[in-house]
Amino acid sequence: MDLQSKALEALVADLADARTEYRNRQRLQSVSLSAPTGSGKTVMATALVERILDGDADHAPAPQSSLLWLTDQPELNEQTRQKMLAGSTTLGPSRLTTIESSFDERVLPAGVVSFLNIQKLSSTAGLLTASEERRYLFWETFNNTVSERGADFYLVLDEAHRGMRDTRAERKIIVQRLVLGDGTVSPVPLVLGLSATLERFQQVIGSTSRTMRAVTVPVDDVRASGLLKEKIILWHPKERQPSSTTLLRAAVQDWLDYDQRWRTYSAENEGSDVLPVLVIQVEDGSGNRTSNTGLAEVLTAVEEVTGGLDPAAYCHAFDTGRSPGRRTEGRSLPGPLGDQRGPRCPGRPVQKQPQHRVGLPPRRGDVVLPLGHRPHPHRAVGRPHGPYPPRSSH
């Protein structure tokens, strides 16, 4: 996208100016990217990291750089890391690492983005707890990296507004300690803040002697690009829709289509009938419940789409793993079948039971239906989406 490319070039230029000013004047620097949610901040940040570490035709690579990526949520770190791995051709797992409590190095690794969440910097966390096994507390590692890397050390504050306004005192102090420094922690030379709302971050930075450089992606540009919509029109029918079973109903219809294709193929090629099995995996039960899935709703959906099946077509695998003294045969099937009792699915010989067409195994039950292969030439057992018979040539 043009807006992402423009923002990236502006960030690269600002970072270059910030590094030069720090080296020449030893003045602390901050660069920020403010972009609306949905504009692709992670895409832009990924391209920026690639540009820093690997360079391009106009910029020399800086493999000696260290990037510390900080958020207040480990889930956000992992989400960002996975997006970077998926979106980059040069940033592999060895260059996108997570700092765990066992981390114990003199400096942060060069050529690497080190992801860290604030919780690991609390006063009781392992990174800051002295022990006979630990050589360096994290603050020592941090100070050593500031001293040795200088302008090649970047502190990236993802969702930067959070740490600056966090009402939890310790977390707020941690972030501001990294940015402002104190008697024991050296201020990082270059801070890069990423957020949709940077006002609080900019207020804190503005109260310091740091040089501020800001890149803003206007929301109107994002709307014009199509990444954000000015209006979203929702339509819903007046009649009641079976939303909770929509995917199930679609699967049942696929199964019927699959069954018809096999019948047509077998008839055209004078072969034996192939009878597909529909496997509907349901939740385990709890207490006296057979299953935590609404079985009546499930069976009603199957019956309505199929037009009604013989009750003998259903089999189940309930009570698997429970007390062997409880009966599993003849458990009542609810819903449209009333009190009709369904047999328990047999094990491997299920392909030899042509009357069984719909199997209901619980999530942790036995694999009562051998999926994904055809153990018998006249019995295809699998999910409704495959294997399909060959298509007719006419």
For residue range 259-291, list pLDDT tens digits in order: 888 888 888 887 777 788 888 887 877 777 777
When pLDDT is averaged across residues 241-245 and rounded to a whole number, the result is 70
For residue range 24-51, what is the model confidence (pLDDT) as tens digits? 999 999 999 988 888 888 999 999 999 9
Contact 288, 318 (CB under 8 A): no
Report pTM. 0.58
Judged against a pLDDT cut of 90, whether residue 330 lies above it is answered with no
CA proximity to 18, closest of 46, 48, 41, 39: 48
For residue range 53-70, what is the model confidence (pLDDT) as tens digits? 999 888 899 999 999 999
Contact 337, 304 (CB under 8 A): no
What DSSP string describes 41-67? HHHHHHHHHHHHHH--SSS---TT-EE
Fold of 2-225: Rossmann fold (3.40.50)
Contacts of 124 (CB under 8 A, 6+ apart): none
Higher-pLDDT residue of 124 and 12 is 12
Chain length of the chain: 394
For residue range 152-211, what is the model confidence (pLDDT) as tens digits? 999 999 876 555 554 455 666 788 788 888 888 999 999 999 887 777 777 778 778 899
In this structure, what is the dihedral angle of CA atoms 122, 123, 126, 132, given to the nearest 10 degrees?
A: 160
Judged against a pLDDT cut of 70, whether residue 22 lies above it is answered with yes
For CATH 3.40.50.300, the residue range(s) in the chain are 2-225
